[in-house]
Amino acid sequence: MRRGIIRPKAVIIGMMGAGKTRVGKEVAHLMHLSFADADIEIEREVGMKIPAYFERYGEPAFREVEADLIADYLEDFDGIFSLGGGAPMTPSTQDALADYIADGGRVVYLDADPHEAMERANRGGGRPMLNGDANARWRKLYKQRDPVFREVANVHVRTRRQTPQMAARKVMDMIGERTVHVTGSGIEPYDVVIGEGAMNHLADVLGDKVAKVALIHTQPVQRHSDRARTLLRQGGYDVVDIVVPDAEAGKTVDVANGVWTRLGDEGFTRSDAIVGVGGGAATDLAGFIAATWMRGIRYVNCPTSLLAMVDASTGGKTGINTEAGKNLVGSFYTPAGVLADTKTLASLPNDIFIEGLGEVAKSGFIEDTEILRILEEHADELRAFDGATFLGSGLEDVVGELIERTVTVKVHHVSADLKEKGKREFLNYGHTLGHAIEKLEHFRWRHGNAVAVGCVYAAELAHRLGYIDQELVDYHRALLSSLGLPISWNGGSFDDVLALMHKDKKARGNKLRFVVLDGTPGHMIHLEDPPADAVREAFRRIQH
């Protein structure tokens, strides 16, 4: 928020009868904030009821008063602010709301069931815009306003069949969410939603054209898949439950074939969808199934680990492993949405949480150096992560920001290069050796841990060739180890590693190709066919 300006925590918009005042008051109560209703404040300012003002001065004069009052409140009120039904249709108010959003604000479109809203609007009375045939007027206004409300708001809350208390809790969760919008050439735009309760968006993301949903998940995330199943059934979908092996054991041709067979038996068509719930391996597999079934059906990822939230679930890379290597069979296929529900992190053991920090740190090295600063500042808390005390703690906001920043780095590279022909390869910093370690360890080593060692290796290689100084190599080691990540590996010979690095996706022909830093964090280059002695010496230095 800009200095000197006090902004509302959230602004609620919606049709007449949507429950903006009732829900807004409930949200304010839950969040211990003050509440203001624009219509009530206008009546106080003009000294008469709105219907009387309409009758005496007309709608244009009312809209002018309304727009001025809203502009004032958007810069001098710090609670929950509810607007009148027609307020967002005024161009100056649209501009003011856009400025508020640009400054980090939340404009919540309360999208109620039309029949419920019409009934409430009629029951309330005193609405000059509904004079005459009230229901016909309401429907006509809805047709005009709904597209504008969707455009103006950056938070969309459907409240169908929900009590004001249920709707308020949903609004409160969504106000605290972070959203990263993914766009780019060849990409169907989608959102990565990060926050407590993000999974509640499942039905909104899938839409009303989907009939059947295959819920692909692993056994260890049963409590989260149970929640997803409940949300899907509440949304009216027919749910087919598909349990796959955990971790990399689930990313095989045999597992994929079993899922394809099940989809065929269940009669899945192009109008159906996939939802992946679990860690990175589960979301990789779910995306691969979605990309290959009938040449592509809709899918949503619900990552449940830090690693999956910052890496595998976003970016549209899907794949399975083969004997030849990791992720060599796959597709570039973007999801309809990614719902990173931070409630799921509370179920993670410490070591599974820590490995995700390997990918977070990598994103700091390749682009967003603020990530590195946050990791340094909170290293002790992050290393001591305890799921039992995570939700509601100060660490939750830190982790939320780290996820948002890491996803933003990934999105920046993916948007510029969906199919990994250039800039997107920078996301593979640390992965050339990292993937070789995983393969030689038969995937007993977790991905984030292998990437951490791979980042140290890439730093050592860059230093050997004069691209970075020793101080930056030491910084890699110090930061990663302070987070509880490994920085060395002794599990295989150089010849075995070299053979696997030649099979890496970045390799070109028989030439090795690495991503390394050039001078400082945030400056990356491709390093093609480096001298063999430097490749060997860098490997020797990560063995102790």
Summary count for the chain: helices (H), strands (E)? 23, 16
Residue 543 assigned as binding residue: no
Spell out a b/e string for 186-207, using b for 16 or more CB atoms within 10 Å of the CB, else e: ebeebbbbbbbbbbbbbbbbbe
Residue 162 assigned as binding residue: yes
Residue 359 assigned as binding residue: yes
User: Which tokens in the block code for residue 369?
Assistant: 């150096």
> With contact defined as beta carbons under 8 Å apart, do 172 and 35 qualify?
no
Residue 20 assigned as binding residue: yes
Query: Which of these, 227, 113, 89, lies nearest to 167 by C-alpha position?
Result: 113
Residue 305 assigned as binding residue: yes
Residue 18 assigned as binding residue: yes
Residue 133 assigned as binding residue: no
CA–CA distance, 257 with 289 (Å, rounded to integer): 9
Residue 238 assigned as binding residue: no
Residue 280 assigned as binding residue: yes
Residue 347 assigned as binding residue: no
Residue 214 assigned as binding residue: no
* CA 339 to each of CA 198, 205, 380, 525: distance values in angstroms, whole numbers, following the listed order: 5, 9, 28, 32
Residue 145 assigned as binding residue: yes
Residue 282 assigned as binding residue: yes
Residue 203 assigned as binding residue: no
* CA 531 to each of CA 433, 462, 501, 523: distance values in angstroms, whole numbers, following the listed order: 16, 11, 14, 21
Residue 298 assigned as binding residue: no
Residue 120 assigned as binding residue: no
Write the DSSP assignment of 278-332 as a string of letters. ESHHHHHHHHHHHHHGGG--EEEEEE-SHHIIIIITSSSEEEEEETTEEEEEEEE
Residue 469 assigned as binding residue: no
Residue 273 assigned as binding residue: no
- How many other β-carbons are positioned within 10 Å of the β-carbon of residue 279? 32
Residue 317 assigned as binding residue: yes
Where does 417-487 have alpha helices with state H? Answer: 431-440, 447-464, 470-482
Residue 308 assigned as binding residue: no
CA–CA distance, 224 with 213 (Å, rounded to integer): 16
Residue 201 assigned as binding residue: no
Residue 246 assigned as binding residue: yes
> With contact defined as beta carbons under 8 Å apart, do 189 and 217 qualify?
no
Residue 436 assigned as binding residue: no
Residue 444 assigned as binding residue: no
Residue 474 assigned as binding residue: no
Residue 434 assigned as binding residue: no
Residue 361 assigned as binding residue: no
Residue 21 assigned as binding residue: yes
Known binding site for ATP: residues? 17-22, 127, 162
Binding-site annotation, residues = 17-22, 39, 63, 85, 127, 145, 162, 246-251, 280-284, 304-305, 317, 326, 359, 431, 447
* Binding residue numbers for Mg(2+): 21
Instruction: Point out the annotated binding site for Zn(2+).
Output: 359, 431, 447
Output the known binding site for NAD(+).
246-251, 280-284, 304-305, 317, 326
Q: Which residues are annotated as a binding site for substrate?
A: 39, 63, 85, 145
